[in-house]
Amino acid sequence: MRDFWLIFVYLFILILYHRLMIENKVAIVMAEKKIEKRDITKLTDIDRHVLNKIYKGEINSISLKNLNKLCFALDCTPSDIFKYIPD
């Protein structure tokens, strides 16, 4: 019975972890503005590995510093590149 609860808790945590309420639209905005990742890297000095993770949506958080740099490079607001999706 103990194994059942361990598996249940593990699966519950996985479901919560993967159910983010923020939609990452960085790749969409970059495509619309025809800006490539290397251009963003040159403009912002954001590490290319970090930018690649942001671009692919593989991040769970972003620093305000990097968010500010992205908004500067893309000439947009945070709400243009990240969208809140309520439950």
Residue 36: pLDDT over 60: yes
In tens, the pLDDT along 47-80 reads 999 999 999 988 888 999 999 999 999 999 999 9
The pLDDT of residue 23 is 87
Q: What token pair was written down for 21? A: 């309420």
What residue ranges in 4-72 does DSSP mark as E strands?
Answer: 22-24
Which domains, from first to last, does the chain contain?
A: 21-84 (1.10.260.40)
What is the rounded distance in angstroms from the CA atom of residue 10 to the CA atom of residue 18? 12
The pLDDT of residue 65 is 95
The pLDDT of residue 86 is 74
**Positive or negative torsion for Cα 29, 33, 37, 43:** negative
In tens, the pLDDT along 15-29 reads 555 556 788 999 999
